[in-house]
């Protein structure tokens, strides 16, 4: 890992040279042989934030294929295989790569430089991101090099999940202490390098306490370690309003078309766009559609449905129609579906597989007539000014008809709700409900729903009224849903709390954590089941034997190929096909 750290340091410094101002290049350093001492704390923090954000965003998107909020067109790609609970090695690499190679390789130099100038807030940020990154590694892989990681050891030993988990909690406590310290006037202000909170130390503190609450709540299977009152205490110092959360802003910059040095993805766009929104293959599921359109079985639609589900234009004259969700409990994916739709952009009919396609209409280019109805599925694709060199972020056919509206989180300028008030509300609601305080649980639950709606509307209101997806939610729909569609204190259930939390945390890794904590129970997640194709696919059941669930991700090829001895010692099944089904440390009931 020390090799990776040195390589990435060189790459990042080269990137910094190529992207900074002329004044930066005027320093007395040979640009052809940059060293790690060149990068300032403010330059280094921005890149650490970028690479960690990409790691967690990738993990979150891929996790939501596991939790069945997302699915993929029928293919052998890692996203499609993950959605079918038949995972392949391709899903494992990116979170590891971007955290260790992109972010972690900078920690040691960052801490040394920040210590030298008493830049305590940069030390706090580094400690916080280190904790977030290693906790992601625990959530994702279970065991990981930790005490010997990012140092001189080329083949570091693996640490168990408990060691890493406790180390992350310790790092968060250290981060809190650093953020409470007053920097000297000679130290670089945090505002000059912080791309998340703009140097707002109070937001960083609240984020740290919020992370602590999240992680302590993830210990719900550990009877001796789970402390509900400690969670509530952390929540008192976490975000208490939507304005106190950490929301990362992104932009669709026409000049942002060069690509990241590890991937070719744009640097300034949202991570969900980079992972899913830039392609036409990612779809929403019927289960996700159902919980948005008929949550409490009263026929009252969630106002967020129009914004979280994609739309397209159909018919003559054209009108917007919202996508249907793919029923993952049906046989569709065992019958070669769903397939990506096509469109006759011309003014004359065309022939396709024995039928006539009228001008300016949708069709599926397949001889299998069972797939011809797949036009009801709209991808979450967004276009962009930078990556796609388009005039806007609305994906259109050549005749101007909207092929996909994009969704709230899949647009290039979509915000990343890294840690926010709604999640804190749902954690509080869960804890209070399990303590028997239904009134308190309902109040927190309702605040979480309203908080997420308000948080979304903050961004949606900046668009105006472009289309049904890209426009604010109306007060009438919001009030009706909150008054009549979410239940009452008298009928609040754990299921309602966790379903609403999963909506508010769409595209978050934490959704998979929560499903694991509750053993994928359809009592907690009503209507949820494993995908049908898993139940009839032998290869999938080799990786996740029947009666078990999707509990972790297999280790990356880097560790398998270059650190196999230590990997083998980390878990009895580390190199076995069924490692995907073995719970990580906090997921083991004690």
Question: What is the mean predicted confidence (pLDDT) over 95-116?
Answer: 97
Instruction: Report whether pLDDT(249) > 70.
Output: yes
Q: 25 or 295: whose pLDDT is higher?
A: 295
Q: CB within 8 A of 308, min separation 6: which ones?
A: 284, 288, 292, 407, 408, 409, 503, 506
Mean pLDDT score of the chain:
93
- Find, among 51, 168, 522, the residue nearest to 329 by Cα: 522
Q: What is the C-alpha separation between 221 and 231, in angstroms, rounded?
A: 14
Say whether pLDDT at 1 is over 60.
no
pLDDT bin (cut points 50, 70, 90) of residue 262 is confident
* pLDDT the model gives residue 20: 35
Is residue 9 very low, low, confident or very high in pLDDT (cuts 50, 70, 90)? Answer: very low
Q: What is the pLDDT of residues 233-243, one digit of tens each?
A: 999 999 999 99
* Tens-place pLDDT, residues 45-69: 999 999 999 999 999 999 999 999 9
Over range 583-587, report the average pLDDT. 98
- Taking the C-alpha atoms of residue 164 and residue 171, their distance in angstroms, rounded to an integer, is 10
In DSSP terms, 565 is beta-bridged to none
Give the Cα separation of 474 and 472 in Å (integer): 6
Query: Tens digits of per-residue pLDDT, 159-212?
Result: 999 999 999 999 999 999 999 999 999 999 999 999 999 999 999 999 999 999
352, pLDDT greater than 80? yes
Cα–Cα distance measured from residue 570 to residue 176, given in angstroms and rounded to the nearest whole number: 31
Q: What is the pLDDT of residue 32?
A: 47
State yes or no: pLDDT of 35 exceeds 90: no
Q: Is the pLDDT of residue 7 over 50?
A: no
* Model pLDDT, residue 24: 24
Q: Which residue has the tokens 């960052």?
A: 110
Q: Give me the phi and psi of 174, to 5 degrees please.
A: -65, -40
User: Does this model's pTM top 0.85?
Assistant: yes
Buried b (16+ CB within 10 A) or exposed e, 429-453: bbbbbeeebbebbbbbbbbbbbbbb
Inter-residue contact 325 to 290 (CB < 8 Å): yes
């Amino acid at each position: 890992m020390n090799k990776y750290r040195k390589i990435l340091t060189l790459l990042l410094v080269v990137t910094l040279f190529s992207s900074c101002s002329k004044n930066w290049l005027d320093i007395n350093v040979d640009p052809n042989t940059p060293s790690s001492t060149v990068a300032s704390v403010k330059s280094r923090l921005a890149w650490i934030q970028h690479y960690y954000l990409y790691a967690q965003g990738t993990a979150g998107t891929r996790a939501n294929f596991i939790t069945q909020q997302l699915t993929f067109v029928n293919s052998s790609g890692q996203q499609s295989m993950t959605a079918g609970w038949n995972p392949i090695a391709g899903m494992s690499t990116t979170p590891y790569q971007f955290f260790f190679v992109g972010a972690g390789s900078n920690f040691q130099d960052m801490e040394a430089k920040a210590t030298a100038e008493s830049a305590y807030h940069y030390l706090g940020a580094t400690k916080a991101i280190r904790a977030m990154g290693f906790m992601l590694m625990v959530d994702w892989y279970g065991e990981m090099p930790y005490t010997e990681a990012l140092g001189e050891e080329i083949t570091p030993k693996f640490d168990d999940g408990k060691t890493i988990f406790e180390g992350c909690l310790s790092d968060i406590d250290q981060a809190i202490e650093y953020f409470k310290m007053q920097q000297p006037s000679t130290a670089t202000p945090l505002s000059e390098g912080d791309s998340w909170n703009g140097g707002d130390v109070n937001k960083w503190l609240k984020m740290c306490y919020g992370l602590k609450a999240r992680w302590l709540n993830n210990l719900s299977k550990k009877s001796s370690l789970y402390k509900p009152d400690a969670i509530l205490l952390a929540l008192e110092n976490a975000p208490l309003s939507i304005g106190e959360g950490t929301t990362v802003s992104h932009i669709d910059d026409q000049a942002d078309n060069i690509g990241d040095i590890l991937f070719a993805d744009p640097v300034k766009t949202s991570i969900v766009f980079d992972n899913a929104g830039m392609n036409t293959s990612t779809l929403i599921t019927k289960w996700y559609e159902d919980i948005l359109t008929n949550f409490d079985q009263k026929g009252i639609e969630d106002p967020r449905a129009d914004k979280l589900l994609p739309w397209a234009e159909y018919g003559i004259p054209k009108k917007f129609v919202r996508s249907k969700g793919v029923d993952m409990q049906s046989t569709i994916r065992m019958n070669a579906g769903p397939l990506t739709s096509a469109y006759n952009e011309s003014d004359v009919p065309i022939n396709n597989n024995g039928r006539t396609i009228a001008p300016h209409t949708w069709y599926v280019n397949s001889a299998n007539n069972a797939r011809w109805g797949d036009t009801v599925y709209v991808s979450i694709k967004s276009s962009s000014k930078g990556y796609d060199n388009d005039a806007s972020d609305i994906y259109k056919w050549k005749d101007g008809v909207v092929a996909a509206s994009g969704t709230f989180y899949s647009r290039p300028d979509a915000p990343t709700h890294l840690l926010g008030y709604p999640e804190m509300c749902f954690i509080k609601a869960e804890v209070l409900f399990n303590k028997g305080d239904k009134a308190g649980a309902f109040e927190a639950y309702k605040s979480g729903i309203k908080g997420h709606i308000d948080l979304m509307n903050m961004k949606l209101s900046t668009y105006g009224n472009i289309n049904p997806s890209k426009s604010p939610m109306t007060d009438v729909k919001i009030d009706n849903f909150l008054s009549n569609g979410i239940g009452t204190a008298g009928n609040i259930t754990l299921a309602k709390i966790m379903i609403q939390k999963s909506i508010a945390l769409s595209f978050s890794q934490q959704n998979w954590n929560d499903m694991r904590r509750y053993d994928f129970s359809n009592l907690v997640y009503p209507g949820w089941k494993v995908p049908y194709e898993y139940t009839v696919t032998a290869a999938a059941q080799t990786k996740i034997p029947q009666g078990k669930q999707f509990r972790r991700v297999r280790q990356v090829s880097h560790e398998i190929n270059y650190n196999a001895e230590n990997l083998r010692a980390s878990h009895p099944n580390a190199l076995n096909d069924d490692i995907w089904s073995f719970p990580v440390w906090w997921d083991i009931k004690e």
